[in-house]
Structure 1
Amino acid sequence: MPRLNALAPAFEAETTHGRLALEDYRGTWVVLFSHPADFTPVCTTEFVAFAKLAPVLKQRNTELLGLSIDSIYSHLAWVNAIRDKFGVEIPFPVIADGNREVASLYGMINPDESSTETSRCLFVIDDKGILRAMIYYPLTTGRNTDEVVRLVDALQTTDRHKVATPANWNPGDKVIVPPPRTVEDAEARKSLGYDCVDWWYCETTVPNAVSAAERKG
């Protein structure tokens, strides 16, 4: 099973964009997500939503990479069907993981839910190849792609400014300053202009990585 803040499991696999390896994405953030099966309604809505999300994530130096255990021929036929029936081009690669190699590395198959399909799993991998977040959904529930963008924004903001993000945080909201580790640090922060409720809870504002205009675009 993958572990947070460890190197993401390496792989090389056949995709709808040719053979790709995770190492090919070094220097770029990756949102790797699995879906249960091609030609299924909920998965189709997700692929349409992720296709619309792709340029938004690209502004954040982040690429999408899909996966299921269907064949490459099934993937290609489904991608074409989405284009023809829904008018949406799928711009990101989709891994054909017929031997379940990648799915096994990432714990994407949950036998208590289904032994023949990958669960709705999502992994955020940073530009250094470190696994930063994991989200699992049941087969019956489609993902909220706005939350995927919010999660990437939060992680990148955390890295850039060495802060934490509170519940329901969105870009532009105040962030949380890490608690002080010494008495001296606690005293020093009084002069730093933070908005403090108490010595252990202080907030501040930081610049957005992507401007509001870019986010709308």
Structure 2
Amino acid sequence: MSLRINDVAPDFTADTTEGKISFHDWIGDGWAILFSHPKNFTPVCTTELGYMAGLEKQFAARNCKIIGLSVDPVESHEGWVGDIEETQGNKVTYPMIGDPNLEVSKLYNMLPASEEGTSEGRTAMTNATVRSVFMIGPDKKIKMMMTYPMSTGRNFDEVMRVLESCQMTAEHQVATPVNWKSGEDVIIVPAVSNEEAAKKYPEGWRELKPYLRYVPDPTK
């Protein structure tokens, strides 16, 4: 099935490097990042997993768990984790899902539901579309999705930026402009009238157009 923003993230049970999990239960009442990989022991993915290991505490400070997925079995993940720490300098302590039957990859529309077989004998190229990131909110709905080609390492600083934006905009009636970073001015959403805005922002706002009104980051 196809997935869209605000769809409920499909639940599943799977083996991970930290034991069997039920995905929605594992998420709990916080946020989660699920990011997938087409094959173990691939160069670009090795750098990505290591970088995310370095960011894990920052995600945790924002009430967000991270979990990786590769189509290979969990037993294969264990050896890859050692390579990641050796080459990237960060130890992977978050769980990694094994998906040898391609069930989660199909459930999240990263591979066609009609795809046959298991991960055995498949190459990174045949799994090239298993390169997606899903951001999931406490309501278990998908808040962001992105898919990169195998040759391009993903920008996980951007994922962090989107998380900060989503968390703030979920709490306040604002949106974030292009290239926004935490602490910069935000936009009052059009659904908030000037009368309502005056109550929320008694110090006023910077108006470029009636629909484009800037105020300071309300979280700062």
Q: TM-score range by the shorter chain?
A: 0.7 to 0.9
Residue 104 of structure 2: aligned partner? 102
* 19-28 vs 137-146, which moves further: 19-28
- Report Cα offsets for 1:31-84 as digits up to 9, x if no partner: 000012111111111111010011110010001110011011111111122234
* 41-50 vs 86-95, which moves further: 86-95
Superposition deviation, residue 186 in structure 1: 4.3
Q: TM-score, normalised by structure 2?
A: 0.86
Superposition deviation, residue 86 in structure 1: 4.2
Residue 170 of structure 1: aligned partner? 181
Q: TM-score, normalised by structure 1?
A: 0.87
* 82-91 vs 124-133, which moves further: 82-91
Summarize the alignment of residues 7-46 of structure 1 with structure 2, pairs less than 5 Å apart.
7-24=8-25, 25-46=27-48
Q: What runs of 5+ residues in structure 1 fail to find an aligned partner?
A: 210-217
- Report Cα offsets for 1:87-125 as digits up to 9, x if no partner: 4210110100011111111122379x9434553100000
Q: What runs of 5+ residues in structure 2 fail to find an aligned partner?
A: 116-123
* 82-91 vs 165-174, which moves further: 82-91
- Alignment partner of 2:78 out of 63, 76, 79: 76
* Contact kept? 1:16, 1:94, Cα under 8 Å: yes
What SS class does the counterpart of residue 176 from structure 2 fall into? coil
Summarize the alignment of residues 132-147 of structure 1 with structure 2, pairs less than 5 Å apart.
132-147=143-158
Q: 1:190 to 1:56 in 2, by over 3 A?
A: closer
- Alignment partner of 1:128 out of 139, 147, 150: 139
Residue 214 of structure 1: aligned partner? none
For 1:167 and 1:87, the matched residues in 2 are separated by 33
Identity within the alignment, %: 38
* 54-63 vs 191-200, which moves further: 191-200
Superposition deviation, residue 145 in structure 1: 1.4
- Is 1:154 the counterpart of 2:165 in the alignment? yes
- Is 1:198 the counterpart of 2:200 in the alignment? no
Q: 1:80 to 1:206 in 2, by over 3 A?
A: same
Superposition deviation, residue 85 in structure 1: 4.6
* 167-176 vs 1-10, which moves further: 1-10
- Report Cα offsets for 1:15-35 as digits up to 9, x if no partner: 001001112212010000001
